[in-house]
Amino acid sequence: MSKAFDMEMFLGGVLTGSHATQQRHLRQARIISAEIAARWRRETPWSWQRKHLIWFMDHRLAGRSEATRYYYLLTVRLLAQRLQTSWTFNL
């Protein structure tokens, strides 16, 4: 049995802000990770492609408020920053 991916350790270097903000980003990153793993069986962010994050933003957040979509966008940008990619995302 493999150990579950530790999102807190993965994002630790790029998380800034208050404790509540950091916890929100971690919670949202875990949700994003679970959805991508369920849809494409990509267990870690290292195996993700830009299209996976776009799919999450377009399909899994459809019908959510603009504020919710914005907060998830911030988390997606943190994930891209941690992956050291040049991916850009818009609402």
Domain residue ranges of the chain, discontinuous segments joined by +: 19-82
Q: What is the pTM of this model?
A: 0.93
- Look at residues 39, 15, 41, 40 and name the one whose alpha carbon lies nearest to residue 28: 15
Overall residue count recorded for the chain in this entry: 91
Question: Mapping DSSP to helix (H, G, I), strand (E, B) and coil, where does residue 28 land?
Answer: helix
Q: What is the pLDDT along the chain (91 residues), one digit of tens a residue?
A: 456 789 999 999 999 999 999 999 999 999 999 999 999 999 999 999 999 999 999 999 999 999 999 999 999 999 999 999 999 998 7
CA dihedral sign of residues 32, 37, 39, 42: positive
What's phi and psi for 69, nearest 5 deg? -60, -40
Taking the C-alpha atoms of residue 75 and residue 81, their distance in angstroms, rounded to an integer, is 10
